[in-house]
Every structure is written in structure tokens, then in C-alpha cells.
A = this chain, B = another copy of it.
């Protein structure tokens, strides 16, 4: 099941389920049965969705392409992982270095952007970059979760572009300011519920920049699998329903690294994972500030 947050009449955010009707993605309004996607996810049996789908009119559902989309969830906390794929290591590390612990940072609430929003390239940054990632969505409150139970706290998966200002990130030991410009976390387009993902450690993460594949690596090669990350992080934070953990980016392909240049006005970046959809973001240059 694919769950979106879409804007109904008047612009209010409503949960919706995406259904394929004769080859076209259409939206079943879930507002009659749930207040938000997070509320839908709280019921692993998805009974509310089943009921809404059964009661939805057979014709007249709006096409997904025709509705406005918000971020599928609005997390209180967005955690991100650094260096979580084999071969993606700090510049100071040996290529086969494997970190002993997950390296976690935070994206603040101002970074959240919808799946069709443009993202501003900050005037004060000389090098804005993209990172294509799978983000897991927490379904129920998680604190000190044993490893064997951790997968059960993951309600679904979505895509996140961990947009990063490299020059600001490199100004100090902590990366936060480089990661936290407004809009630097486009999320979506939908949450795919966990029951529809047979093996989250067997997904090919791809990034396409202006038509060229620049990242292509399987979640088989992550250092810390998703369930472990939930287990580990839940020893620290109480994770709340709707919180998001983005599981890191693979290294760019050698050709892409060699040809790399900062994002520029009009560039588009697509993060795509079979089964999770595509998240396409267009970047627009911010005007210089006073």
C-alpha cells in the first residue's frame, strides 16, 4: 500500500491511498477514516484503508498527477546516517574502513519539503550537493527496542534527498548547518507500507542527475541494516510515530565523482528505488541577500 498526504479543497492536508486504476495512479481519500498518514500507519492491519477503499466510488477518483502533494509525514525528528554503505567513507579514512557505530545527525523541521517542491540553492553556499536515500518511517513509539523486535517498529519506507551544503558542512566538526538549510529534506512521494517490501536489505538505490545515473548500489551493502539502526537509536531517543530515519547514501559512481559539479539552477535530481517510487527535485538558485 502506498500512502500520500495530499491537499484537498481549501488546501488542508489529507491522508490518501494510491491505487492503480487501469494503469493510472489515483488517490483514495482517507480523511473519512484517519486524520493523517501516521494515524493510518498505527494500524498494521490497515483496516481503515481497506474500508475506505471498499467504500470509495469506482469512478471519479482524482489522478495522483493532478493533486498537490505534501510530505507524506511531518516527523518531529528526522535522523540521518552518514557513511552507512560499503565504499562510502570519510575522506580521511581508508576505502575499506567500516565504522564501528552508526554516525547519526539530525535534519531540523525547517528542512522538510514536499515531493514536488522546488528546493532553493542558498545564495550563501558555493557547493550544494544531493544524496539519495531510503528513509524508514516509525509506526509506533520505540524505546530500548530489542534487535529481534526492531523491524516491527518500521511502518514503511519512503525516499529522502539529503541535500547538503558541502562548504557549510566543512566549516566545523559538526555537519548540522550544512544539512539544515530550509527545504534540504525533500521527502516522498509516498510511504510504502512495510508489508509491501519483502526485504528492505535488497533494494537498489539509484540517483539520476540531469538524465545520468550517478548512484546505483543495493541496500545489501549497508554497514548497519535498518532494523539494527532502529534498535540502536532507540537506546537513546524515544522514537515517535512518524519520525523518520534516513539510512544514508551510497557513494557516487566513479564516473559521477569524476564529473561532479555543484548543483546549479534548473538541475533536477531523481532518487528512485523499485517498489518505493521516484522522488524528483528541481533546484532553483536563491537570489543574493542583503
Q: Which residues of B contact A79 (CB under 8 A)?
A: 108, 176
A127 to B235 CA separation, bound complex (whole angstroms): 15
* Residue numbers in B under 8 Å from A82 (CB-CB): 172-174
Q: State in angstroms the CA–CA spacing of A182 and B239 once bound together.
A: 10
Apart from A106-B108, A177-B233, list 12 A-B contacts with CB within 8 A. Answer: A76-B108, A76-B109, A77-B108, A79-B176, A82-B172, A82-B173, A101-B171, A106-B176, A124-B235, A124-B236, A143-B182, A180-B237
Report whether B106 and A106 are in contact in the complex, using a CB–CB cutoff of 8 Å: yes
- Min C-beta distance of A290 to chain B, whole Å: 7
A110 contact from B109, B182, B237, Cβ within 8 A: B237
Closest 10 CB pairs of A and B: A103-B172, A106-B106, A101-B171, A144-B289, A105-B174, A77-B108, A177-B236, A110-B237, A104-B176, A124-B235
Residues on B with C-beta less than 8 A from A173 are: 82, 90, 103, 173
Near B by CB (< 8 A), chain A positions 231-249 give 233, 235-238, 240
Interface residue ranges of A89-132 to B (CB < 8 Å): 90, 99-106, 108-110, 122, 124
Chain B residues, CB < 8 A from A180: 106, 236-237
Chain A contacts with B in 164-184, Cβ cutoff 8 A: 168, 171-177, 180-182
Q: How many chain copies?
A: 2
Q: Are A182 and B238 in contact (CB under 8 A)?
A: yes
The interface residues of chain B lying within 8 Å CB-to-CB of A101 are: 171-172
Q: Which residues of the other chain, B, contact A236 by a CB distance below 8 angstroms?
A: 122, 124, 168, 177, 180-182
Which chain B residue has the least Cβ–Cβ distance from A175? Answer: B174
Query: B residues within 8 A CB of A171?
Result: 100-101
Contact between A77 and B172, CB atoms less than 8 A apart: no
**Complex interface: chain B residues within 8 A of A103 (CB):** 172-174
State whether A108 touches B237 (Cβ < 8 A): yes
In the complex the two chains form, is A104's CB within 8 Å of B174's CB?
A: yes
